[in-house]
């Protein structure tokens, strides 16, 4: 297996920076300062045409002047200079680069040509690079920071791969205030060479990284992304924010990094298929990621809530319900034990609400420990622990009552922070999340953060992060997908497609589509193609009334509402009349499908469409007349395993219709799985197919049967 190109790039023993100077207003200088000042111990070679020394280091005019070949070169110069400079470093043997410079494919065709040129040069010399249009990397393990913002030297636990440089660099002060520390962070920019899948695979292998977060504007190689993510998420949580799913989001991403976006529902399905947890904001990406990086795995769904206020207690309990957690009423035994430490009017049932109480010993240590030891909870959410932050707030009000002493003297009078509080989650190996309205100015907030217990700025945020812990528990426990072996290609299916293409058709007619589907085990309606009224009557007698009539021509891809379908035909007289009506509506003689009339009140759909970067993707959802009204569907990339299909069933809002419902038997799920998997397999076996639309799939009794089918073909070049 080829070694990931990021191993060397993230761990260089020597770095050259092209664009470093002594001008603090230059971006090259700012990034070079991060390397020099943040503790990197490797060799540093500034490249500058005019300066003899840069930032106290000897400067060199060109790559060929360097005393040794650097492992990594960072380019922060105008894009017109990059091609020649990259070639210079290629000639001396440098194998890794970071191209910070922008102005490539994100700007249009000319920039794309320039990007192809630097990739061609890199390929010639065996160089792998991050960028262009990025802000560099962070490796806290070796104190390496090539970004524009200072990075504190404390080794972190959270790995980050981002198609935005800002979220790697400019967010560092924000993260510092919240006690969040990267293990490794990679700004990917345009991904001309090293992409987000390379970064995900690297972070998945990195022992320091305990959880991974991804900021995504578009994925170019969906198949590889799913393959790598599925492997990584089996042993390490991965979260992602995707922002390219709306029209404006896609437009912004394209102009930002040249990203290839896709519709939101596609990424919802792909991320679920991959085992990646999707979050809705950059704040949740950081904080939920930090939660998963620092907290032990959840053993169950039971949450103990400990607060000194009823409002936050209720908000936490409500949000826990929303994210699938359980807030159980404590046993009488546990309540009795808790009541020894709280006021008579306070609740011990769960949430435990001490009401406004300043005994931090009880709130932060005694009662949480009782809960953890009880065996009745799997996680704790704690709100209201406070110390110096609150005391600073009330100082001006009480100063006259305490003899006018200084704030510093006042703080010395308060009880010291109880450090035992910070040991609890580690001692009992149980997730504990803290909610506080105070930041690091408060001794407890600082203490929790410094010992890797996440502190959230609202009760609801803490509970939502607990939901991500629960979500990852479900991902860890799901059945791994079995090895998928595609069936043999059907000769009849190939013949039907080739014949249609030879005729210049853009699609198969419905009858041909169903014949193709049947070759791959898809259950379809009994039907006969009839060209005349007499043939239709003979077919109806053989099938048995009631029947349905449908115009059948590849040129008529959608028949509903156009007078081209007649349902519930009970006898020959009705059949004759409807046959004639369909011919009139078609405007010309057209063959008619005589089809068994299925009975069933539940209708679903399955289909396939191809998306750039992902190829064939399979859709499943609520079908029939409700398709466009409720838009209740989900998607996965082909081929599908049984577990993929099962998860698709769980995704839709109408999933209860698959179970026993109002006297109707449960759907034979194994048969529905067979249909969905077949759609994906057919798409891969026959790349000439552009789209598949099976709608409705009628549940007849308990059996799913395809009642209508459309197979569209790729346009001839």
Q: Per residue in 58-102, pLDDT tens?
A: 999 999 999 999 999 999 999 899 999 999 999 999 999 999 998
Torsion of CA 75, 81, 87, 89, to 10 degrees: -40
Query: Which CATH number covers residue 460?
Result: 3.40.50.261
- Rounded Cα–Cα distance for residues 177 and 200 (Å): 26
Q: Is 68 within a domain?
A: yes
Query: Which CATH number covers residue 537?
Result: 3.30.1490.20
Q: Is 339 within a domain?
A: yes
Same domain? 545 vs 498 = no
> Which residues pair with residue 528 across a beta bridge?
594
Q: Is 156 within a domain?
A: yes
> Which residues pair with residue 617 across a beta bridge?
609, 637
The single residue listed with the structure tokens 């192809």 is: 116
What is the span of the domain harbouring residue 658? 480-525+598-717
Same domain? 101 vs 17 = yes
Label residue 257 by pLDDT band (50, 70, 90).
very low
Structure confidence at residue 111 (pLDDT): 85
Structure confidence at residue 108 (pLDDT): 87
Residue 590 has pLDDT above 60, yes or no: yes
Same domain? 324 vs 468 = yes
Same domain? 621 vs 665 = yes
- DSSP structure class, residue 326: B
Q: Is the peptide bond before 351 cis (omega within 30 degrees of 0)?
A: yes
Label residue 358 by pLDDT band (50, 70, 90).
low
Q: Is 384 within a domain?
A: yes
Same domain? 620 vs 556 = no
Average the pLDDT over each of 294-308, 364-378, 626-640, 677-691 and give the range with the smallest value. Answer: 626-640
Same domain? 286 vs 300 = no
Inter-CA distances, 496 with 4, 493, 527, 618, Å:
44, 5, 17, 22
- Rounded Cα–Cα distance for residues 667 and 157 (Å): 45
Could you give the 3-state DSSP secondary structure of residue 455?
Answer: strand
| Pairing verdict, β 689-700 and 602-611 | antiparallel
- Rounded Cα–Cα distance for residues 126 and 105 (Å): 22
- Rounded Cα–Cα distance for residues 607 and 380 (Å): 44
- Rounded Cα–Cα distance for residues 45 and 545 (Å): 86
Residue 393 has pLDDT above 80, yes or no: no
Helical ranges in 340-385 per DSSP H: 360-361, 367-374
Vertex 680, ends 678 and 682: CA angle to 5°?
A: 65
Same domain? 98 vs 15 = yes
Query: Which CATH number covers residue 672?
Result: 3.30.470.20
pTM of the model: 0.92
Within 10 angstroms of residue 563's Cβ, the number of other Cβ atoms is: 14
Same domain? 118 vs 224 = yes
Could you give the 3-state DSSP secondary structure of residue 581?
Answer: helix
Same domain? 559 vs 435 = no
- The whole-chain average pLDDT of the chain stands at 92
Same domain? 626 vs 504 = yes
Average pLDDT for 335-345: 92
pLDDT tens digit sequence for 120-172: 999 999 999 999 999 999 999 999 999 999 998 788 999 999 999 999 999 99
Structure tokens at 43: 């060799």
b/e sequence 640-664, b meaning 16+ C-beta within 10 Å = bbbebbbbbbebbebeebbeeeeee
* Helical (H) or strand (E) element with 634: strand 633-637
Structure confidence at residue 1 (pLDDT): 53
**Residue 335 CA from chain centroid, whole number:** 40
Q: Is 1 within a domain?
A: no
pLDDT tens digit sequence for 656-678: 999 998 889 999 999 999 999 99
Structure tokens at 237: 């949580």
Structure tokens at 457: 């700025």
Same domain? 622 vs 691 = yes
Listed in sequence order, the residues at least 6 apart from 422 whose beta carbon sits closer than 8 Å to its beta carbon are 447, 448, 450, 451, 453
Residue 513 has pLDDT above 70, yes or no: yes
Residue 446 has pLDDT above 50, yes or no: yes
- Directed axis angle between helix 533-543 and helix 572-586, to 10°? 130
Higher pLDDT, 624 or 688: 688
Same domain? 53 vs 38 = yes
Q: Is the peptide bond before 696 cis (omega within 30 degrees of 0)?
A: yes
Q: Is 238 within a domain?
A: yes
- DSSP structure class, residue 249: H
Helical ranges in 258-387 per DSSP H: 264-274, 282-294, 310-322, 332-339, 360-361, 367-374
Structure confidence at residue 481 (pLDDT): 83
- Rounded Cα–Cα distance for residues 93 and 643 (Å): 47
The pair phi, psi for residue 516, each rounded to 5°, is: -65, -45
Label residue 404 by pLDDT band (50, 70, 90).
confident
Q: How many domains does the chain have?
A: 4
């Amino acid at each position: 297996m080829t070694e990931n190109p990021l191993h060397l790039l993230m761990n260089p023993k020597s770095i050259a920076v092209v664009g470093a100077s002594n001008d603090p207003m230059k971006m090259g200088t700012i990034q070079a300062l991060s390397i020099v000042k943040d503790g990197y111990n490797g060799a540093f070679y500034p490249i500058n045409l005019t300066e003899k020394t840069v930032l106290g280091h000897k400067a060199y005019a060109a790559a060929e002047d360097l005393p040794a070949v650097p492992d990594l070169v960072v380019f922060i110069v105008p894009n017109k200079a990059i091609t020649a400079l990259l070639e210079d470093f290629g000639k001396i043997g440098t194998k890794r680069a970071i191209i910070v410079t922008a102005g490539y494919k994100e700007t249009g065709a000319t920039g794309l040509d320039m990007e192809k040129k630097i990739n061609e040069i890199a390929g010639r010399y065996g160089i792998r690079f991050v960028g262009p249009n990025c802000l560099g990397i962070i490796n806290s393990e070796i104190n390496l920071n090539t970004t524009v913002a200072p990075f504190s030297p404390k080794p972190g636990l959270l790995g980050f791969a981002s198609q935005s440089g800002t979220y790697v660099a400019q967010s560092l002060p924000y993260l510092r205030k919240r006690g969040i520390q990267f293990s490794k962070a990679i700004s990917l920019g345009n991904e001309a060479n090293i992409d987000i899948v390379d970064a995900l695979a690297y972070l998945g292998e990195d022992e320091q990284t305990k959880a991974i977060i991804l900021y995504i504007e578009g994925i170019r190689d969906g198949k590889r992304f799913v393959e790598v993510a599925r492997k990584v998420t089996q042993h390490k949580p991965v979260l992602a924010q995707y922002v390219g799913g709306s029209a404006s989001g896609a437009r912004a991403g394209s102009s930002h990094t040249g990203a290839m976006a896709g519709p939101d529902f596609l990424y919802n399905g792909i991320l679920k298929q991959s085992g990646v947890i999707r979050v809705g904001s950059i704040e949740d990406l950081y904080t939920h990621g930090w939660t998963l990086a620092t907290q032990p795995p959840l053993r169950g769904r039971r949450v103990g809530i400990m607060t000194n206020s009823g409002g936050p207690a209720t908000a936490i309990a409500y949000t826990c319900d929303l994210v699938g957690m359980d807030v159980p009423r404590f046993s009488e035994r546990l309540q009795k034990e808790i009541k020894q430490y709280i006021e008579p009017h306070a609740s011990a049932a769960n949430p435990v609400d001490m009401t406004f109480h300043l005994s931090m010993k009880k709130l932060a240590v005694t009662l949480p420990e009782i809960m953890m030891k009880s065996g009745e909870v799997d996680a704790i959410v704690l709100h209201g622990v406070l110390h110096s932050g609150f005391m600073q707030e009330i100082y001006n009000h009480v100063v006259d009552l305490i003899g006018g002493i200084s704030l510093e003297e006042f703080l010395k009078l308060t009880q010291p922070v109880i450090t035992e509080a910070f040991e609890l989650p580690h001692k009992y190996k149980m997730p504990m999340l803290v909610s506080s309205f105070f930041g690091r100015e408060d001794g407890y907030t600082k203490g929790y953060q410094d010992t890797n217990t996440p502190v959230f700025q609202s009760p609801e945020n803490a509970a939502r992060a607990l939901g991500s812990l629960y979500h990852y528990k479900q991902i860890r426990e799901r059945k791994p997908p079995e090895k998928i072996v595609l069936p043999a290609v059907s000769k009849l299916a190939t013949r039907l497609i080739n014949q249609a293409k030879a005729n210049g058709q853009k699609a198969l007619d419905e009858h041909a589509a169903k014949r193709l589907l049947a070759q791959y085990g898809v259950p379809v309606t009994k039907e006969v193609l009839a060209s005349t009224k007499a043939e239709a009557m003979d077919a109806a007698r053989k099938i048995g009334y009631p029947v349905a009539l449908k115009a059948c021509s590849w040129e008529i891809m959608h028949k509903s509402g156009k007078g081209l379908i007649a349902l519930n035909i009970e006898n020959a007289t009705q059949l004759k009349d409807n046959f004639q009506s369909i011919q009139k509506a078609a405007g010309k003689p057209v063959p008619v499908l005589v089809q068994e009339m299925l009975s069933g009140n539940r209708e679903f759909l399955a289909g396939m469409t191809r998306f750039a970067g992902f190829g064939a993707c399979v859709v499943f959802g609520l079908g029939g007349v409700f398709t466009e009204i409720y838009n209740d569907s989900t998607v996965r990339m082909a081929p599908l395993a049984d577990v993929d299909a099962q998860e698709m069933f769980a995704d839709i809002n109408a999933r209860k219709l698959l179970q026993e419902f109002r006297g109707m038997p449960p759907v034979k799920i194994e048969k529905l799985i067979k249909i969905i998997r077949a759609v994906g397999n057919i798409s891969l076996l026959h790349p000439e197919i552009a789209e598949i639309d099976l709608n409705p799939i009628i549940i007849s009794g308990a059996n799913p049967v395809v009642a209508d089918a459309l197979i569209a073909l790729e346009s001839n070049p």
